[in-house]
């Protein structure tokens, strides 16, 4: 039975002969939802970005008392279930664990959470999102084999939204790629003389820094690195550096000068020779990048687009005309309108004096 449709269940799980009217949610299921929503809320306290998913856990005694809570504090730290078990201590025995993501079943920097729950004597586990990661999935099977009652898939969509990018990256087997571009309404990212600072307004640039901070890596080509000498850092409104900086990534074979700002100690920089987007993403996946923020330039963006490796497009469009200058994107190999790359607009908003348009490739999940 699909537990997400449990509101239409006639027979209660606490005994035969006890019925619930059609269209009325079983009180036991309503209670599960309540505690599971608390676990999902705790998951939002986990750091973003992080190579690991954001997870929250709540332990509830047989009498309905919350005896432990926890959330994942970042790579290398105890998982949410372990945090909750430590908080509960001996009270974990016989309790129900509510977890936003299926308890993991593998040993990495920490041990498998499914085993920890079994050893603590937890009697029942209710989780929302099944783990899409083949390396960590299978926790539900381990729990059931140990005699633990398991209910999975309840509020799965709500839980998945907390880990939207992480989930999609795991399913793709590579980092999720957001292509960000700032352009005039006639599609130029710089004037004929190469000047580009600033096409967009201060509010739009602040929005970019906020979104950069949520990514694992900022990617540019050597053309952009040489032409713009960018910092590619996350900065506050007063220009000071944010405490956490995404990995800076430069793709291409041209040498970046020793005095380039990308070689500063403001943030770590990874230089990837060659221009193959798939190889670049494979290397980023290897170092734990889940969300890559592609900033340019036109040639590198075109290479990603030709390979179908752009999952989201974020356009900041300024109300200005240049008439000539650097194009928004390079050659895509399109020779006729029928072959144009199509996108679905998922959001449009005004940011200061500029328009921010969010799009997804029409053939991809929006």
Any domain includes 21: no
Co-location of 164 and 214 in the same domain:
no
What CATH number does the domain containing 47 carry?
A: 3.40.140.10
Co-location of 249 and 137 in the same domain:
no
Give 364's pLDDT tier (boundaries 50, 70, 90): low
Known binding residue 113? Answer is yes
Judge residue 10's burial from the number of C-beta atoms within 10 Å of its C-beta, 0-12 exposed, 13-18 middle, 19 or more buried: exposed
Known binding residue 224? Answer is yes
Co-location of 309 and 267 in the same domain:
yes
Which regions of 153-305 does DSSP assign to beta strands (E)? Answer: 176-184, 188-190, 217-221, 247-251, 269-272, 291-296
Q: What is the pLDDT of residues 176-232, one digit of tens each?
A: 999 999 999 988 888 888 877 788 999 999 899 899 889 999 999 998 888 888 899
Work out the percent of the chain whose per-residue pLDDT is above 90: 63
Q: Tell me the Cα Rg of the chain.
A: 24
Between 16-30, 263-277, 293-307, the lowest mean confidence (pLDDT) is in 16-30
Known binding residue 298? Answer is yes
Between 19-23, 71-75, 172-176, the lowest mean confidence (pLDDT) is in 19-23
Co-location of 255 and 355 in the same domain:
yes
Phi, psi of 11 (to 5 degrees): -105, 125
Q: What is the pLDDT of residues 12-33, one digit of tens each?
A: 333 333 444 445 556 788 899 9
Any domain includes 131: yes
Of 158, 132, 204, the residue nearest 56 (C-alpha): 158
Rounded mean pLDDT, 303-309: 94
Any domain includes 3: no
Co-location of 159 and 187 in the same domain:
no
Q: What is the C-alpha separation between 98 and 121, in angstroms, rounded?
A: 14
- Beta-bridged to residue 356, according to DSSP, are 316, 349
Q: What is the pLDDT of residue 7?
A: 33
- Distances 146 to 76, 120, 139 between C-alpha atoms, Å: 27, 12, 11
Known binding residue 228? Answer is yes
Among 142, 169, 196, where does a domain finish?
A: 169
Q: What is the pLDDT of residue 347?
A: 94
pLDDT exceeds cutoff 50 at 248:
yes
Q: What is the pLDDT of residue 105?
A: 87
Co-location of 291 and 195 in the same domain:
yes
Any domain includes 39: yes
Co-location of 185 and 323 in the same domain:
yes
Known binding residue 232? Answer is yes
Co-location of 304 and 338 in the same domain:
yes
Co-location of 154 and 289 in the same domain:
no
Among 169, 186, 220, where does a domain finish?
A: 169
∠ at Cα 162 (157, 167), nearest 5°? 75
Any domain includes 15: no
Domain encompassing residue 205: 174-361
Known binding residue 235? Answer is yes
What is the set of active-site residues? 81
Q: What is the pLDDT of residue 54?
A: 93
Q: What is the C-alpha separation between 3 and 19, in angstroms, rounded?
A: 17
Any domain includes 13: no
Q: What is the pLDDT of residue 133?
A: 87
pTM value is 0.82
Among 118, 145, 169, where does a domain finish?
A: 169
pLDDT exceeds cutoff 60 at 82:
yes
Rounded mean pLDDT, 39-43: 96
Higher pLDDT, 236 or 109: 236
Co-location of 91 and 107 in the same domain:
yes
Any domain includes 4: no
Q: What is the pLDDT of residues 128-159, one digit of tens each?
A: 999 998 888 899 999 999 999 999 999 999 99
Known binding residue 142? Answer is no
Known binding residue 260? Answer is no
DSSP-derived secondary structure letter, 257:
P
What CATH number does the domain containing 336 carry?
A: 3.40.430.10
Count the domains in the chain: 2
Which regions of the chain does DSSP assign to beta strands (E)? Answer: 56-60, 66-71, 96-101, 124-129, 149-152, 176-184, 188-190, 217-221, 247-251, 269-272, 291-296, 312-318, 326-327, 343-351, 354-361
For residue 134, give every residue at least 6 positions away whose Cβ sits within 8 Å of its Cβ, in sequence order, or none. none
Rounded mean pLDDT, 331-339: 87
Q: What is the pLDDT of residue 23?
A: 53
> SS3 letters for 66-108?
EEEEEECCCCCCCCHHHHHHHHHHHHHCCCEEEEEECCCCCCC
Judge residue 220's burial from the number of C-beta atoms within 10 Å of its C-beta, 0-12 exposed, 13-18 middle, 19 or more buried: buried
Q: Among all chains, which residue has been given the structure tokens 């040639």?
A: 299
Q: What is the pLDDT of residue 3?
A: 39
Phi, psi of 292 (to 5 degrees): -100, 130
Of 72, 74, 53, 75, the residue nearest 133 (C-alpha): 53
Co-location of 259 and 352 in the same domain:
yes
Query: Which tokens sit at 290?
Result: 């889940």
Co-location of 162 and 184 in the same domain:
no
Any domain includes 222: yes
Rounded mean pLDDT, 356-365: 83
Phi, psi of 247 (to 5 degrees): -65, 130
Of 104, 113, 106, 65, the residue nearest 85 (C-alpha): 113
């Amino acid at each position: 039975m699909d537990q997400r449709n449990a509101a239409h269940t006639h027979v209660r799980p606490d005994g035969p002969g006890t019925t619930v009217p059609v269209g009325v949610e079983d009180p036991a299921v309503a209670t599960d939802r309540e505690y599971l929503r608390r676990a999902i809320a705790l998951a939002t306290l986990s750091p973003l970005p992080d190579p690991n998913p954001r997870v929250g856990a709540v332990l509830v005694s047989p009498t309905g008392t919350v005896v432990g809570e926890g959330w994942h504090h970042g790579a290398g730290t105890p998982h949410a279930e372990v945090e909750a078990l430590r908080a509960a201590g001996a009270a974990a025995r016989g309790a129900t664990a509510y977890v936003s993501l299926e308890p993991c079943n593998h040993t990495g920097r920490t041990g498998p959470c499914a085993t920890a729950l079994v050893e603590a004597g937890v009697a029942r586990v209710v989780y929302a999102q099944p783990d899409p990661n083949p390396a960590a999935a299978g926790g539900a099977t381990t729990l059931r084999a140990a005699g633990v009652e398991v209910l999975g898939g309840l509020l799965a969509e709500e839980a998945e939204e907390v880990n939207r990018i992480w989930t999609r990256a795991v399913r793709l087997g590579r980092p999720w790629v957001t292509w960000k571009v700032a352009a005039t309404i006639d599609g130029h990212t710089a004037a004929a003389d190469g000047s580009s600072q600033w096409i967009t307004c201060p509010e739009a640039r602040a929005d970019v820094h906020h979104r950069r901070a949520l990514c694992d890596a900022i990617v540019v080509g050597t053309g952009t690195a040489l032409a713009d000498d960018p910092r590619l850092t996350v900065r506050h409104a007063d220009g000071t550096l944010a405490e956490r900086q995404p990995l800076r990534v430069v793709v291409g074979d041209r040498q970046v000068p020793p005095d380039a700002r990308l070689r500063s100690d403001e943030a770590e920089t990874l230089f990837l020779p060659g221009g193959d987007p798939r190889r670049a993403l494979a290397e980023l996946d290897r170092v734990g990048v889940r969300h890559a923020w592609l900033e340019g330039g036109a040639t590198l963006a075109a290479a990603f687009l030709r390979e179908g490796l752009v999952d989201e497009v974020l356009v900041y469009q300024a109300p200005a005309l240049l008439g000539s200058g650097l194009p928004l994107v390079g050659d895509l190999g399109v020779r006729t309108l029928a072959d144009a790359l199509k996108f679905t607009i998922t959001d449009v908003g005004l940011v200061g004096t500029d328009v921010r348009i969010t799009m997804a490739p029409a053939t991809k999940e929006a």
